[in-house]
Amino acid sequence: GENVEQHPSTLSVQEGDSAVIKCTYSDSASNYFPWYKQELGKRPQLIIDIRSNVGEKKDQRIAVTLNKTAKHFSLHITETQPEDSAVYFCAASRTDSWGKLQFGAGTQVVVTP
Amino acid sequence: DAGVIQSPRHEVTEMGQEVTLRCKPISGHNSLFWYRQTMMRGLELLIYFNNNVPIDDSGMPEDRFSAKMPNASFSTLKIQPSEPRDSAVYFCASRPQGEDYGYTFGSGTRLTVV
> What is the overall mean pLDDT for chain A?
94
Q: How far apart are CA B27 and CA B2, in angstroms?
A: 9
The predicted structure's pLDDT at residue B100: 67
The predicted structure's pLDDT at residue B99: 63
Enumerate the residues of chain B whose CB falls inside 8 A of the CB of residue A100. 33, 45, 48, 55-56
Enumerate the residues of chain A whose CB falls inside 8 A of the CB of residue B2. none
Rounded to the nearest angstrom, the minimum Cα separation between B64 and chain A is: 23
Residue from the list A43, A46, A95 with its beta carbon closest to the beta carbon of B102 = A46
Local confidence pLDDT in tens for the 114 residues of chain B: 689 999 999 999 999 999 999 999 999 999 999 999 998 889 999 999 999 999 999 999 889 999 999 999 999 999 999 999 999 999 999 998 776 678 899 999 999 999
Does the distance separating the beta carbons of B102 and A49 come in below 8 Å? yes
Return the percentage of chain A with pLDDT > 90, whole number.
Answer: 87
The predicted structure's pLDDT at residue A12: 97
Size of interface A-B (CB pairs under 8 A): 52
Does the distance separating the beta carbons of B43 and A44 come in below 8 Å? yes
Q: Does B55 touch chain A (CB under 8 A)?
A: yes
Does the distance separating the beta carbons of A98 and B103 come in below 8 Å? no
Residue from the list B55, B91, B102 with its beta carbon closest to the beta carbon of A98 = B55
The predicted structure's pLDDT at residue A77: 98
The predicted structure's pLDDT at residue B56: 92
Q: CB within 8 A of A86, min separation 6: which ones?
A: A37, A38, A39, A40, A109
**Mean predicted confidence (pLDDT) in A33-52:** 95
* pLDDT per residue as tens digits for the range A47-82: 999 998 888 999 999 999 999 999 999 999 999 999
Judged by average pLDDT, the poorest of A23-27, A108-112, B61-65, B91-95 is: B61-65
**Is residue A83 over pLDDT 80?**
yes
Q: Determine the distance from the C-alpha atom of residue A106 to the mean position of all C-alpha atoms in its chain, rounded to a whole number.
A: 9
CA-nearest of A57, A107, A71, A62 to A86 is A107
